[in-house]
Amino acid sequence: MSLPQPETVGPAATAPALRVVHDAVEVDLPRAEAAAADLLTALGLDIRTEGLARTPARMAAAFAEMFQPRAFDLTTFPIDEGYDELVLAHSLPVHSVCEHHLLPFVGVAHVGYLPGARILGLSKLARVVELFARRPQVQERLTRQVADWLHENLSPRGVGVVVEAEHMCMTVRGVQAVGATTVTSALLGQLREDAATRAEFFSLAARSPRRGLGGHLG
């Protein structure tokens, strides 16, 4: 991904503005469509039927979309009233694709941090999750990448990320463990080093409305 140097904006030039974009990748949709048609044909499907005639084009467009995160502006704000407690965004959507089978895995991420000098616009936490989710991934790497990125770009006193997801490569094929979820976590700074802060983060993350998460955290 391309991360330009921050530029100051506004009359007082106090708020850093950072345009965050994924590495530019040239997508050849006609070639992808032809490859999808070959794959479906090789699997014994007749793409001349009405139902499958446009499927190769839809497949190509769908994967192109899933592999390209949207650009966003990283906006931060000064801390008012000296706030220095944990900030946690709950149940941020995770939509990614397993790099081993190219099947989706979906779930939620709980992302928290202890502010340093500035706080981040809350919607940007969801954008950071998307930044690393929209590509062939493994959940463990995704979790750590989100934590590392926030640590490097926001300079907080600590970061915590929990991801819970259901993997289609595990539920619709192979073992077919329908309903099984995988939970991963990454902790940096004070959230890793201080037991009380770490416990507070996991306690807040465990309040997710998603069934079963509380049983995985502690």
- Positions marked catalytic: 98-101, 139, 167, 169
Which DSSP symbol is given to 173? S
119 close to 87: Cβ distance less than 8 angstroms: yes
Instruction: Tell me the one-letter amino acid at 148.
Output: D
Q: Determine the 3-state secondary structure of 213 from DSSP.
A: helix
Closest CA to 159 of 167, 150, 168: 150
Which residues, other chains included, contact 93 with Cβ-Cβ below 8 Å and sequence gap of 6+?
106, 108, 109, 126, 129
Around 20, how many Cα atoms within 13 Å sit in the side-chain half-sphere?
A: 20
181 close to 107: Cβ distance less than 8 angstroms: yes
Alpha-carbon distance 109 to 54, whole Å? Answer: 34
- Dihedral (CA of 170, 204, 95, 67) sign: negative
For residue 119, give the amino acid letter.
I
What count of other Cβ atoms lies within 10 Å of the Cβ of residue 173? 11
